[in-house]
Structure 1
Amino acid sequence: MAVRSSGNVRITGTAIDDQKVTFQKIVSLSFESDRFTPADELQFTVLDVLNGRFKFITMELNGRKIFDGIVDIQKRVIDQKGNYTSFVCRRKTCMMLDNEVKPYWYFNLTSDQLIKSHALPYGANGAKLPKAAVLPQILAKKGISHWEFLTLFCRLAYHRSPYVDRMGNITCDPFQETEHLFSNSRADGIPFLTAELTDDHYQIISKLSVKTGKAEYGATYGYVLNNASADQFEIVRERYYHPETEWQGEPALSARQYYEDKQAGFFEVTVTVPGIYDIRAGDSARFEDVIGSYYDLYVTKVRLRSDSDGNTMTITLWEKSGLINR
């Protein structure tokens, strides 16, 4: 049985001979997107009789492309019931994760050089950075991926972490202007089947002391960052942080980035909605219900499931205040 209500979803494959095929008999589909990694994943199974071997896959929703990726796995199965083909695909920008940077000290690296050498050849369409920037020096350690190198550059130059927006551009804008309202009480909201609101206090750090030098019997910790969120909940959880070489001379920035990495998702709203919507990681969001309303959220993860039982999406929302470098 084909996927129910799949008329607004169109999946097209490009074979190794560059022939294009639009799949007609999709029996299952799953899609996952995460704001913090450039490797959206699409998995689907079709009953179409296929002879070709495929290299690229695109997926459109209501005529708008929402996935442009490479085929990681194509599996063809023939049994007594017939035959089917399954695909595992990732967004083309996953190549920024799959490829390593040459270990090297880079001097006077500009943002333009960064994008031309570490983003465009590996699936990105372009960049929307806050301004032109140059770093006097930056170290690419052995084993670092192009995405990790891009992230390090943006954190040092712009004090923000990059992500890939809905147009395939590298951006440091923390949130997109597109906003979604999830509500069962508002007529203009997206209704949800279930909602989970989680306060994860274990992620919260109350005090971070950053190493800034050496002492006779240890280290000196000349920079201390206290967390107002921890004070609110009366949480005591102290850490001593020794920044890596690339953060030397930036104790305040390294401390704020450490906080962000550890506790950005300390408050989480997870909603499951019926149907398929054009919701992307990085979009802004609001949640309204009788149990509470939250207006300063953003989408961190999107999961789509589609099979003979219907279509559902699970969207994970975090508070914008968790991204302190914004």
Structure 2
Amino acid sequence: MLRLFFEDSDGNVLKSGELLSVVLNIENDVPADSIAVTLPYDANLVLNVNTIAAKSGDTLVFRGLVDEIVSLCDEKQAIIKLTARSPAGLLLDNEAEPVTYYCPTSEFLCKKHLKPFGIEAQDADDTPLSNYFRIDKGMTHWQVIENFCKVHYGTTPCVDGDGKVFLKGRVRDRCLLFGKGGIDYVSIKESRKKCELISEVRVKIDRFGGYNSRIVNDSAEAGGAGSVRFMDATADTGGLKTADRIIENSNKKSYCIMLLCRECVVDAMGCKAKICDERFGNLENLVVQKVQYSLGKDGEFTALELGKEI
């Protein structure tokens, strides 16, 4: 079971009543993990709670500042609902100063856009971008980091439960086995979304030419797809690599598996996965890309979304 800790602004752990409900959301496409907790009404918590931390075993899977405290008292109940987001929420809430950098490195950008919020990158380096990098008015600090990573590394950055940023994405060596001999699940759902597949990207490589170059999706599933995208490589700092990423991302989005487990499987993000199922057979080369843990009157459940490891 997930263990929760409620802390004041000095880091002292506050006493709390029995947990009535918990929902924890962790996913690759949303930088800030979130948690919602319902407890019996406690005036001390209402006045002093500042941070919520969650552990699975000895592993810290979430830590974040409380965003909202709602108290509800009526004839039937007296409860409080706390919601919190991981440190990445600060990057989403704050705009970056508009500026243009010439050949910046990830170390430089992290110092400017992460360090002021007490957030560290685990894999920053001093390799410069081969072109300029512009921050437009209205962009958040998270958008700055996200856009840089997509252009420079071809990745989507992610933030772990302790607020550490992985610029090149996070695929862990740990492999989870579901089904026979592994973690049990109560349901499995496989989705093949052909509408997400892009068959080719037509690229303009000459400023005064047309979209004459073709980057074709060689995935077997994309054989019957007819979706085409156009990209101007002369205006994109990522060049032809961007076209490859467009196809790669379409392949990722076109397939997913949903598992529902009747236990806590929260420390799973970025883990490789294998499923042994009587009907679907052996499914391999998967990676966990979304986790939702819930605790309520019916017990605890973990819903996991697995995608292709590409």
Residue in 1 that maps onto 2:149: 154
What SS class does the counterpart of residue 119 from structure 2 fall into? coil
2-side partners of 1:137 and 1:254: how far apart?
Answer: 16
Q: What's the offset of the Cα at 1:54?
A: 2.6
Instruction: Give the aligned partner of residue 92 of structure 2.
Output: 97
| 1:298 and 1:319 in contact (8 A); partners too | yes
DSSP-derived class of the 2:96 partner: coil
Q: Contact between 1:94 and 1:123, CA under 8 Å: does it hold in 2?
A: no
Amino acid at match of 2:275: F
Tell me, what secondary structure is at the counterpart of 1:276? coil
State the partner residue of 1:259.
247
* Structure 1 residue matching 2:184: 3-state secondary structure: coil
Quote the offset at 1:95 in angstroms.
Answer: 1.3
Secondary structure of the equivalent of 1:160?
coil
Superposition deviation, residue 78 in structure 1: 1.9
Distance in 2 between residues matched to 1:46 and 1:231, nearest whole Å: 48
- Unmatched tracts of structure 1, length 5 or more: 1-7, 322-326
The Cα shift of 1:225 comes to 0.8
Indicate the SS of the match to 1:196.
Answer: strand
Query: 1:10–1:22: 8 Å Cα contact kept in structure 2?
Result: no
Partner of 2:297: 308
Mean Cα deviation higher: 142-151 or 66-75: 142-151
The alignment status of 1:177 with 2:173, answered yes or no, reads yes
Do the aligned partners of 2:193 and 2:254 also contact (CA within 8 Å) in 1? yes
> Deviations for 1:115-154, whole angstroms, at most 9, x for unmatched residues?
222123335343224x432224211112222122112222
Q: Which amino acid aligns with 1:193?
A: V
Contact 1:93 1:122 in 2 (8 A): no
Measure, in 2, the Cα distance between the counterparts of 1:309 and 1:48.
21
Equivalent residues of 1:14, 1:57 under 8 A apart: yes
1:226 equivalenced with 2:216 (yes/no): yes
User: Structure 1 segments of 4 or more deviating over 6 A?
Assistant: none
TM-score under structure 1 normalisation? 0.85
The 1:210/1:154 distance shift into structure 2, 3 A limit, reads: same
Length, aligned pairs only: 305
Q: Displacement of 1:277 after TM fit?
A: 2.1
Report the equivalent of 1:235.
Answer: 225
The residue number in structure 1 matching 2:33 is 40
Which of residues 60, 70, 77 in structure 2 aligns to 1:75? 70
Q: 2:232 & 2:83 partners in 1: Cα distance?
A: 39
Q: 1:106 to 1:76 in 2, by over 3 A?
A: same
CA shift, 1:214, in A, is 4.4
Q: Is the contact between residue 23 and residue 294 of structure 2 (CA under 8 Å) also seen in structure 1?
A: yes
Q: Is the 8 A contact 1:194 1:272 kept in 2?
A: yes
User: What's the % identity of the aligned pairs?
Assistant: 22
Among candidates 163, 174, 196, match of residue 203 of structure 1 = 196
State the shift of 1:12 in Å.
2.0
Distance 1:42 1:313 in 2: 14
Inter-partner Cα distance in structure 1 for 2:223 and 2:60: 43
Q: Which of 118, 123, 129 does residue 128 from structure 1 map onto?
A: 123
Q: Which stretches in structure 2 are left out of the alignment for 5+ residues?
A: none
| Contact kept in structure 2, 1:115 and 1:127, CA below 8 Å | no
- How far off is 1:16 after superposition? 4.8
**Letter of the structure 2 residue corresponding to residue 270 of structure 1:** M
Give the letter for the 2:147 counterpart: L
The structure with the largest strand share of the pair is 1
| Change beyond 3 A, Cα 1:287–1:122 | farther
